[in-house]
A and B are shown apart, each in its own frame.
Chain A
Protein backbone atom coordinates (compact mmCIF):
# COMPACT_ATOMS: atom_id res chain seq x y z
CA UNK A 1 0.00 0.00 0.00
CA UNK A 2 1.47 3.33 -1.06
CA UNK A 3 1.42 6.51 0.87
CA UNK A 4 -0.90 9.30 -0.25
CA UNK A 5 -0.12 12.94 0.41
CA UNK A 6 -3.45 14.47 1.33
CA UNK A 7 -4.49 17.47 3.41
CA UNK A 8 -6.61 18.25 6.41
CA UNK A 9 -9.62 20.55 6.18
CA UNK A 10 -7.43 23.44 7.35
CA UNK A 11 -5.03 22.83 4.44
CA UNK A 12 -2.17 21.17 6.35
CA UNK A 13 -0.52 18.37 4.38
CA UNK A 14 -0.70 14.89 5.88
CA UNK A 15 0.65 11.53 4.79
CA UNK A 16 -2.09 8.91 4.75
CA UNK A 17 -2.11 5.23 3.91
CA UNK A 18 -4.52 4.03 1.24
CA UNK A 19 -6.48 2.25 3.95
CA UNK A 20 -6.86 5.50 5.88
CA UNK A 21 -8.00 7.39 2.76
CA UNK A 22 -10.51 4.65 1.92
CA UNK A 23 -11.82 4.69 5.49
CA UNK A 24 -12.18 8.48 5.50
CA UNK A 25 -13.99 8.47 2.15
CA UNK A 26 -16.46 5.91 3.49
CA UNK A 27 -16.97 7.73 6.80
CA UNK A 28 -17.37 11.11 5.08
CA UNK A 29 -20.10 9.94 2.73
CA UNK A 30 -21.87 8.09 5.55
CA UNK A 31 -21.85 11.23 7.70
CA UNK A 32 -23.68 13.18 4.96
CA UNK A 33 -26.04 10.30 4.25
CA UNK A 34 -27.00 9.97 7.93
CA UNK A 35 -27.52 13.69 8.44
CA UNK A 36 -29.60 14.39 5.32
CA UNK A 37 -31.18 10.93 4.99
CA UNK A 38 -29.85 10.57 1.46
CA UNK A 39 -27.97 7.70 -0.24
CA UNK A 40 -24.23 7.43 0.42
CA UNK A 41 -21.81 7.31 -2.53
CA UNK A 42 -21.64 3.97 -4.36
CA UNK A 43 -18.59 1.72 -4.18
CA UNK A 44 -17.71 2.79 -7.76
CA UNK A 45 -17.81 6.44 -6.74
CA UNK A 46 -15.62 5.75 -3.72
CA UNK A 47 -13.20 3.90 -6.02
CA UNK A 48 -13.19 6.92 -8.38
CA UNK A 49 -12.29 9.23 -5.48
CA UNK A 50 -9.62 6.79 -4.27
CA UNK A 51 -8.05 6.83 -7.73
CA UNK A 52 -8.13 10.64 -7.73
CA UNK A 53 -6.09 10.70 -4.53
CA UNK A 54 -3.63 8.07 -5.88
CA UNK A 55 -2.77 10.29 -8.83
CA UNK A 56 0.49 12.19 -8.55
CA UNK A 57 -0.71 15.09 -10.75
CA UNK A 58 -0.57 18.45 -9.07
CA UNK A 59 -3.58 19.67 -11.07
CA UNK A 60 -6.41 17.58 -12.54
CA UNK A 61 -9.31 18.59 -14.79
CA UNK A 62 -12.74 17.45 -15.91
CA UNK A 63 -13.33 15.26 -18.95
CA UNK A 64 -13.90 17.31 -22.10
CA UNK A 65 -17.56 16.33 -22.36
CA UNK A 66 -18.24 17.43 -18.78
CA UNK A 67 -16.95 20.99 -19.08
CA UNK A 68 -19.25 23.34 -17.18
CA UNK A 69 -19.79 27.06 -16.58
CA UNK A 70 -18.26 29.17 -13.84
CA UNK A 71 -20.10 31.85 -11.91
CA UNK A 72 -18.51 33.94 -9.18
CA UNK A 73 -19.23 35.59 -5.90
CA UNK A 74 -17.99 39.08 -5.10
CA UNK A 75 -16.09 39.13 -8.40
CA UNK A 76 -15.07 42.78 -8.56
CA UNK A 77 -13.84 42.70 -4.99
CA UNK A 78 -11.31 39.93 -5.60
CA UNK A 79 -8.77 42.21 -7.25
CA UNK A 80 -9.70 45.14 -5.01
CA UNK A 81 -8.96 42.97 -1.96
CA UNK A 82 -5.44 42.44 -3.28
CA UNK A 83 -5.11 46.25 -3.23
CA UNK A 84 -4.38 46.44 -6.93
CA UNK A 85 -5.60 49.86 -8.06
CA UNK A 86 -7.87 48.74 -10.89
CA UNK A 87 -11.40 50.08 -11.42
CA UNK A 88 -14.48 47.86 -11.45
CA UNK A 89 -14.78 48.23 -15.24
CA UNK A 90 -11.19 47.22 -15.68
CA UNK A 91 -11.72 44.24 -13.39
CA UNK A 92 -14.71 43.06 -15.42
CA UNK A 93 -12.66 43.37 -18.63
CA UNK A 94 -9.80 41.47 -16.98
CA UNK A 95 -12.11 38.65 -15.92
CA UNK A 96 -13.76 38.49 -19.35
CA UNK A 97 -10.81 38.95 -21.69
CA UNK A 98 -7.78 37.85 -19.66
CA UNK A 99 -9.23 35.12 -17.46
CA UNK A 100 -11.89 33.95 -19.93
CA UNK A 101 -14.72 34.17 -17.39
CA UNK A 102 -18.08 32.70 -18.45
CA UNK A 103 -20.01 35.17 -16.30
CA UNK A 104 -19.31 38.53 -14.69
CA UNK A 105 -20.47 40.11 -11.48
CA UNK A 106 -20.45 43.77 -10.48
CA UNK A 107 -20.29 44.22 -6.73
CA UNK A 108 -19.75 46.72 -3.96
CA UNK A 109 -16.79 46.05 -1.67
CA UNK A 110 -19.16 46.00 1.33
CA UNK A 111 -20.97 42.97 -0.12
CA UNK A 112 -24.38 43.14 1.61
CA UNK A 113 -27.70 44.37 0.18
CA UNK A 114 -28.19 46.68 3.16
CA UNK A 115 -24.86 48.41 2.49
CA UNK A 116 -25.40 48.41 -1.27
CA UNK A 117 -28.68 50.28 -0.87
CA UNK A 118 -26.69 53.39 0.07
CA UNK A 119 -24.51 53.28 -3.04
CA UNK A 120 -26.99 51.94 -5.55
CA UNK A 121 -27.14 55.33 -7.29
CA UNK A 122 -23.41 54.93 -8.04
CA UNK A 123 -23.43 51.26 -8.99
CA UNK A 124 -26.43 51.70 -11.30
CA UNK A 125 -24.50 53.86 -13.80
CA UNK A 126 -21.51 51.55 -13.33
CA UNK A 127 -23.72 48.69 -14.47
CA UNK A 128 -25.17 50.76 -17.32
CA UNK A 129 -21.68 51.31 -18.68
CA UNK A 130 -20.46 47.78 -17.94
CA UNK A 131 -23.21 46.18 -20.03
CA UNK A 132 -22.22 48.34 -23.00
CA UNK A 133 -18.60 47.19 -23.00
CA UNK A 134 -18.76 43.53 -21.95
CA UNK A 135 -20.17 40.43 -23.63
CA UNK A 136 -20.54 37.74 -20.95
CA UNK A 137 -23.75 37.65 -18.87
CA UNK A 138 -23.43 39.96 -15.91
CA UNK A 139 -24.87 39.71 -12.41
CA UNK A 140 -25.18 42.23 -9.65
CA UNK A 141 -24.40 40.42 -6.43
CA UNK A 142 -24.53 40.87 -2.66
CA UNK A 143 -25.36 38.93 0.51
CA UNK A 144 -28.77 39.05 2.27
CA UNK A 145 -26.82 39.33 5.58
CA UNK A 146 -29.80 39.51 7.92
CA UNK A 147 -27.59 40.16 10.94
CA UNK A 148 -27.00 43.73 9.78
CA UNK A 149 -30.61 44.62 10.59
CA UNK A 150 -30.28 44.03 14.33
CA UNK A 151 -28.61 46.03 17.11
CA UNK A 152 -25.83 47.23 17.09
CA UNK A 153 -25.73 47.37 13.26
CA UNK A 154 -29.42 47.94 12.62
CA UNK A 155 -32.70 49.16 14.11
CA UNK A 156 -34.19 45.85 15.38
CA UNK A 157 -33.59 44.32 18.85
CA UNK A 158 -31.00 41.58 18.53
CA UNK A 159 -32.58 38.09 18.75
CA UNK A 160 -29.27 36.78 20.10
CA UNK A 161 -29.72 39.07 23.13
CA UNK A 162 -33.36 38.02 23.60
CA UNK A 163 -33.06 34.22 23.22
CA UNK A 164 -30.71 33.70 26.22
CA UNK A 165 -33.25 35.66 28.34
CA UNK A 166 -35.92 33.18 27.23
CA UNK A 167 -37.79 36.01 25.42
CA UNK A 168 -38.46 33.69 22.48
CA UNK A 169 -41.60 35.40 21.17
CA UNK A 170 -39.84 38.77 21.13
CA UNK A 171 -36.86 37.20 19.36
CA UNK A 172 -39.18 35.79 16.69
CA UNK A 173 -40.86 39.18 16.32
CA UNK A 174 -37.41 40.74 15.89
CA UNK A 175 -36.63 38.24 13.14
CA UNK A 176 -39.92 39.10 11.44
CA UNK A 177 -38.97 42.79 11.42
CA UNK A 178 -35.46 42.06 10.14
CA UNK A 179 -36.93 39.95 7.35
CA UNK A 180 -39.18 42.82 6.22
CA UNK A 181 -36.24 45.24 6.07
CA UNK A 182 -34.07 42.71 4.23
CA UNK A 183 -36.74 41.87 1.62
CA UNK A 184 -37.29 45.55 0.98
CA UNK A 185 -33.56 46.19 0.42
CA UNK A 186 -33.03 43.12 -1.79
CA UNK A 187 -36.02 43.93 -3.98
CA UNK A 188 -35.01 47.61 -4.22
CA UNK A 189 -31.40 46.89 -5.18
CA UNK A 190 -32.36 44.04 -7.53
CA UNK A 191 -34.96 46.18 -9.28
CA UNK A 192 -32.66 49.16 -9.69
CA UNK A 193 -29.79 47.14 -11.13
CA UNK A 194 -32.03 45.11 -13.47
CA UNK A 195 -34.57 47.67 -14.61
CA UNK A 196 -32.24 50.66 -14.86
CA UNK A 197 -28.75 49.15 -14.84
CA UNK A 198 -29.44 46.46 -17.44
CA UNK A 199 -27.81 43.48 -15.69
CA UNK A 200 -28.76 39.93 -16.69
CA UNK A 201 -29.37 38.70 -13.18
CA UNK A 202 -29.04 39.09 -9.43
CA UNK A 203 -26.83 36.90 -7.27
CA UNK A 204 -27.89 36.26 -3.68
CA UNK A 205 -24.66 35.07 -2.13
CA UNK A 206 -23.95 33.33 1.20
CA UNK A 207 -27.69 32.97 1.76
CA UNK A 208 -29.00 31.78 5.14
CA UNK A 209 -25.81 32.64 7.01
CA UNK A 210 -28.15 33.96 9.74
CA UNK A 211 -30.35 30.89 9.54
CA UNK A 212 -33.92 30.11 8.54
CA UNK A 213 -35.24 33.69 8.72
CA UNK A 214 -32.56 34.85 6.30
CA UNK A 215 -33.34 32.01 3.88
CA UNK A 216 -37.01 33.03 4.05
CA UNK A 217 -36.14 36.68 3.29
CA UNK A 218 -34.03 35.69 0.27
CA UNK A 219 -36.72 33.33 -1.06
CA UNK A 220 -39.39 36.04 -0.73
CA UNK A 221 -37.14 38.62 -2.42
CA UNK A 222 -36.46 36.17 -5.27
CA UNK A 223 -40.18 35.47 -5.57
CA UNK A 224 -41.05 39.17 -5.75
CA UNK A 225 -38.29 39.92 -8.27
CA UNK A 226 -39.29 36.92 -10.41
CA UNK A 227 -42.91 38.09 -10.47
CA UNK A 228 -41.82 41.61 -11.33
CA UNK A 229 -39.25 40.60 -13.96
CA UNK A 230 -40.01 37.06 -15.25
CA UNK A 231 -36.93 37.05 -17.53
CA UNK A 232 -34.50 38.03 -14.79
CA UNK A 233 -31.82 35.47 -13.95
CA UNK A 234 -31.56 34.76 -10.22
CA UNK A 235 -28.69 32.83 -8.66
CA UNK A 236 -28.92 31.84 -5.02
CA UNK A 237 -25.74 30.59 -3.39
CA UNK A 238 -25.95 29.21 0.13
CA UNK A 239 -23.72 29.61 3.18
CA UNK A 240 -23.80 26.05 4.52
CA UNK A 241 -25.38 22.65 4.01
CA UNK A 242 -27.87 22.96 6.85
CA UNK A 243 -30.41 25.73 7.49
CA UNK A 244 -29.91 26.79 11.09
CA UNK A 245 -33.16 27.06 13.03
CA UNK A 246 -32.54 30.43 14.63
CA UNK A 247 -36.25 31.30 14.38
CA UNK A 248 -37.17 27.61 14.19
CA UNK A 249 -40.80 27.98 13.07
CA UNK A 250 -40.59 30.06 9.93
CA UNK A 251 -42.00 28.41 6.80
CA UNK A 252 -41.93 29.08 3.06
CA UNK A 253 -44.74 27.64 0.95
CA UNK A 254 -45.78 25.45 3.87
CA UNK A 255 -42.30 23.99 4.41
CA UNK A 256 -40.44 24.58 7.68
CA UNK A 257 -37.05 25.99 6.72
CA UNK A 258 -35.05 25.02 9.80
CA UNK A 259 -33.04 21.87 9.19
CA UNK A 260 -33.33 21.71 5.40
CA UNK A 261 -30.45 20.19 3.45
CA UNK A 262 -29.42 21.16 -0.12
CA UNK A 263 -31.67 18.63 -1.92
CA UNK A 264 -34.63 20.22 -0.07
CA UNK A 265 -33.38 23.82 -0.29
CA UNK A 266 -33.20 23.67 -4.09
CA UNK A 267 -36.88 22.71 -4.41
CA UNK A 268 -37.96 25.87 -2.56
CA UNK A 269 -35.57 27.95 -4.66
CA UNK A 270 -37.20 26.56 -7.81
CA UNK A 271 -40.63 27.59 -6.47
CA UNK A 272 -39.37 31.09 -5.71
CA UNK A 273 -38.13 31.61 -9.29
CA UNK A 274 -34.41 31.07 -8.76
CA UNK A 275 -32.70 29.99 -12.01
CA UNK A 276 -29.31 28.82 -10.65
CA UNK A 277 -28.82 27.23 -7.22
CA UNK A 278 -25.51 27.07 -5.38
CA UNK A 279 -25.26 24.50 -2.58
CA UNK A 280 -22.49 25.19 -0.07
CA UNK A 281 -21.07 22.36 2.04
CA UNK A 282 -18.86 23.60 4.85
CA UNK A 283 -15.46 22.07 5.51
CA UNK A 284 -14.72 20.34 8.81
CA UNK A 285 -11.18 21.54 9.47
CA UNK A 286 -10.08 18.71 11.78
CA UNK A 287 -11.10 16.01 9.31
CA UNK A 288 -9.09 15.04 6.22
CA UNK A 289 -9.92 16.29 2.72
CA UNK A 290 -10.92 12.77 1.56
CA UNK A 291 -13.48 12.74 4.40
CA UNK A 292 -14.67 16.26 3.53
CA UNK A 293 -14.76 15.66 -0.22
CA UNK A 294 -16.82 12.48 0.04
CA UNK A 295 -19.18 14.24 2.44
CA UNK A 296 -19.57 17.31 0.22
CA UNK A 297 -20.16 15.26 -2.92
CA UNK A 298 -22.82 13.17 -1.18
CA UNK A 299 -24.87 16.27 -0.27
CA UNK A 300 -24.28 17.92 -3.66
CA UNK A 301 -25.11 14.82 -5.70
CA UNK A 302 -28.48 14.46 -3.97
CA UNK A 303 -29.13 18.16 -4.63
CA UNK A 304 -28.20 17.93 -8.32
CA UNK A 305 -30.41 14.85 -8.76
CA UNK A 306 -33.38 16.59 -7.14
CA UNK A 307 -32.95 19.82 -9.07
CA UNK A 308 -34.73 20.98 -12.21
CA UNK A 309 -32.60 24.13 -12.41
CA UNK A 310 -28.84 24.46 -12.99
CA UNK A 311 -26.68 23.74 -9.95
CA UNK A 312 -23.43 25.70 -9.47
CA UNK A 313 -21.86 24.23 -6.33
CA UNK A 314 -19.80 26.57 -4.17
CA UNK A 315 -16.17 25.49 -4.26
CA UNK A 316 -13.69 27.78 -2.59
CA UNK A 317 -12.04 28.49 0.69
CA UNK A 318 -13.82 26.37 3.28
CA UNK A 319 -16.63 24.98 1.13
CA UNK A 320 -17.07 22.04 -1.25
CA UNK A 321 -14.16 19.96 -0.01
CA UNK A 322 -11.70 22.85 -0.45
CA UNK A 323 -9.52 23.68 2.59
CA UNK A 324 -10.33 26.67 4.76
CA UNK A 325 -7.42 28.84 3.60
CA UNK A 326 -7.38 32.14 1.73
CA UNK A 327 -5.44 30.73 -1.23
CA UNK A 328 -6.65 27.15 -1.77
CA UNK A 329 -3.89 24.78 -2.97
CA UNK A 330 -4.33 23.71 -6.60
CA UNK A 331 -4.07 19.99 -5.85
CA UNK A 332 -7.04 20.21 -3.49
CA UNK A 333 -9.09 22.71 -5.50
CA UNK A 334 -8.73 20.90 -8.81
CA UNK A 335 -9.51 17.48 -7.27
CA UNK A 336 -12.59 18.86 -5.52
CA UNK A 337 -13.76 20.59 -8.72
CA UNK A 338 -13.27 17.56 -10.95
CA UNK A 339 -14.91 15.15 -8.52
CA UNK A 340 -17.94 17.37 -7.87
CA UNK A 341 -18.55 18.09 -11.56
CA UNK A 342 -18.12 14.49 -12.70
CA UNK A 343 -19.93 12.64 -9.91
CA UNK A 344 -22.71 15.17 -9.32
CA UNK A 345 -23.03 16.07 -13.03
CA UNK A 346 -22.96 19.73 -12.12
CA UNK A 347 -23.97 22.58 -14.42
CA UNK A 348 -21.31 24.84 -13.03
CA UNK A 349 -19.21 25.89 -10.10
Chain B
Protein backbone atom coordinates (compact mmCIF):
# COMPACT_ATOMS: atom_id res chain seq x y z
CA UNK B 1 0.00 0.00 0.00
CA UNK B 2 2.95 2.41 0.40
CA UNK B 3 3.63 1.89 -3.29
CA UNK B 4 1.74 -0.36 -5.72
CA UNK B 5 2.10 -3.79 -4.11
CA UNK B 6 -1.64 -4.12 -3.53
CA UNK B 7 -2.36 -3.48 -7.21
CA UNK B 8 0.29 -5.91 -8.44
CA UNK B 9 -0.92 -8.48 -5.90
CA UNK B 10 -4.47 -8.18 -7.28
CA UNK B 11 -3.24 -9.14 -10.74
CA UNK B 12 -1.34 -12.09 -9.26
CA UNK B 13 -4.21 -13.29 -7.12
CA UNK B 14 -7.15 -12.82 -9.46
CA UNK B 15 -5.50 -13.21 -12.87
CA UNK B 16 -2.63 -15.54 -11.95
CA UNK B 17 -0.14 -13.14 -13.56
CA UNK B 18 3.53 -13.57 -12.75
CA UNK B 19 5.39 -10.61 -11.29
CA UNK B 20 6.87 -9.04 -14.42
CA UNK B 21 3.61 -9.30 -16.36
CA UNK B 22 1.62 -7.99 -13.39
CA UNK B 23 3.96 -5.02 -12.91
CA UNK B 24 3.85 -4.12 -16.61
CA UNK B 25 0.06 -4.38 -16.65
CA UNK B 26 -0.36 -2.17 -13.59
CA UNK B 27 2.23 0.38 -14.78
CA UNK B 28 0.46 0.62 -18.13
CA UNK B 29 -2.95 1.14 -16.54
CA UNK B 30 -1.56 3.75 -14.14
CA UNK B 31 0.33 5.60 -16.87
CA UNK B 32 3.54 5.04 -14.91
CA UNK B 33 6.81 3.21 -15.46
CA UNK B 34 7.62 -0.12 -13.81
CA UNK B 35 10.34 1.47 -11.60
CA UNK B 36 7.75 4.05 -10.45
CA UNK B 37 5.67 1.24 -8.94
CA UNK B 38 8.24 0.62 -6.19
CA UNK B 39 8.88 4.30 -5.42
CA UNK B 40 6.90 5.46 -2.41
CA UNK B 41 7.14 9.19 -3.24
CA UNK B 42 6.01 8.83 -6.86
CA UNK B 43 3.28 6.36 -5.94
CA UNK B 44 1.93 8.47 -3.06
CA UNK B 45 1.38 11.36 -5.48
CA UNK B 46 0.04 9.14 -8.25
CA UNK B 47 -2.33 7.31 -5.92
CA UNK B 48 -3.67 10.61 -4.65
CA UNK B 49 -4.08 11.96 -8.20
CA UNK B 50 -5.89 8.80 -9.32
CA UNK B 51 -7.84 8.73 -6.05
CA UNK B 52 -7.22 5.03 -5.45
CA UNK B 53 -6.36 5.23 -1.75
CA UNK B 54 -3.16 6.18 0.03
CA UNK B 55 -1.38 4.54 2.94
CA UNK B 56 -1.57 7.63 5.18
CA UNK B 57 -5.19 8.61 4.88
CA UNK B 58 -5.75 12.21 3.86
CA UNK B 59 -9.01 14.17 3.97
CA UNK B 60 -11.06 13.83 0.81
CA UNK B 61 -9.04 10.92 -0.60
CA UNK B 62 -10.97 7.75 -1.48
CA UNK B 63 -11.05 5.20 1.31
CA UNK B 64 -12.06 1.55 1.52
CA UNK B 65 -14.68 0.47 -0.99
CA UNK B 66 -14.61 3.90 -2.74
CA UNK B 67 -10.98 3.34 -3.66
CA UNK B 68 -11.72 -0.23 -4.79
CA UNK B 69 -14.43 0.97 -7.20
CA UNK B 70 -11.77 3.13 -8.82
CA UNK B 71 -9.14 0.38 -8.78
CA UNK B 72 -11.56 -2.05 -10.44
CA UNK B 73 -12.21 0.46 -13.23
CA UNK B 74 -8.56 1.43 -13.62
CA UNK B 75 -7.26 -2.15 -13.76
CA UNK B 76 -10.30 -3.43 -15.69
CA UNK B 77 -10.63 -6.07 -13.02
CA UNK B 78 -13.69 -7.55 -11.34
CA UNK B 79 -13.27 -7.04 -7.60
CA UNK B 80 -15.62 -9.35 -5.75
CA UNK B 81 -16.79 -6.94 -3.05
CA UNK B 82 -17.24 -4.13 -5.58
CA UNK B 83 -19.51 -6.33 -7.70
CA UNK B 84 -21.44 -7.32 -4.56
CA UNK B 85 -21.78 -3.68 -3.52
CA UNK B 86 -23.14 -2.74 -6.96
CA UNK B 87 -25.70 -5.53 -6.75
CA UNK B 88 -26.73 -4.64 -3.19
CA UNK B 89 -27.45 -0.99 -3.95
CA UNK B 90 -28.86 -1.65 -7.43
CA UNK B 91 -26.12 0.07 -9.46
Contacts and interface: CB of A to CB of B under 8 A. Distances in A.
B56 interface: yes
Contacts of B80: 131, 194, 198-200, 231-232
Contacts of A308: 16, 18
Given A194-B80, A200-B79, A231-B78, A135 B16 contact: no
Contact of A310 (B16, B65, B67): B16
Contacts of B67: 135
Contact of A64 (B38, B53, B55, B78): B38
Given A96-B1, A231-B80, A135 B17 contact: no
Contacts of B85: 132, 198
Contacts, number: 118
Interface in A215-243: 231-233, 235
Contacts of B19: 68-69, 310, 345-348
A136 interface: yes
B74 interface: no
Interface string A122-138: 00000000011111110
A346 B8 CA distance: 13
B71 interface: yes
Contacts of B38: 64-65, 67
A345 B19 CA distance: 9
Given A97-B55, A103-B9, A136-B1, A275 B68 contact: no
A100 interface: yes
Nearest to B16: A275
A85 to B, nearest CB: 23
B65 A131 contact: yes
A310 B46 CA distance: 26
Contact of A137 (B13, B37, B52): B13
Contacts of B17: 310
B1 A101 contact: yes
A275 B56 CA distance: 30
Interface string B78-90: 1111001100000
B1 A200 contact: no
A263 B81 CA distance: 33
A101 B34 CA distance: 19
Given A201-B13, A276-B13, A102 B81 contact: no
Contacts of B34: 65
A64 B33 CA distance: 13
A282 interface: no
A135 B64 contact: yes
B81 A198 contact: yes
Contacts of B71: 135
A267 to B, nearest CB: 14
Nearest to A203: B13
A69 B57 contact: no
A275 B13 CA distance: 6
Contact of A233 (B8, B13, B52, B64): B13
A133 B1 contact: no
Interface in B10-51: 10, 12-19, 22, 34-35, 37-38
Interface string A68-98: 1111000000000000000000000000110
A309 interface: yes
Contacts of A101: 1
Contacts of B55: 96-97, 100
A235 B13 contact: yes
Which A-B residue pairs are the 9 nearest by beta carbons? A102-B5, A233-B13, A198-B81, A131-B81, A100-B2, A136-B6, A347-B19, A135-B53, A310-B12
Interface of B: 1-3, 5-6, 8-10, 12-19, 22, 34-35, 37-38, 52-53, 55-57, 63-65, 67-68, 71, 78-81, 84-85
Given A97-B55, A132-B81, A133-B65, 5 more contacts: A65-B34, A131-B81, A135-B53, A276-B13, A308-B18
9 contacts: A100-B2, A133-B63, A135-B63, A198-B84, A200-B80, A231-B14, A275-B12, A276-B16, A308-B16
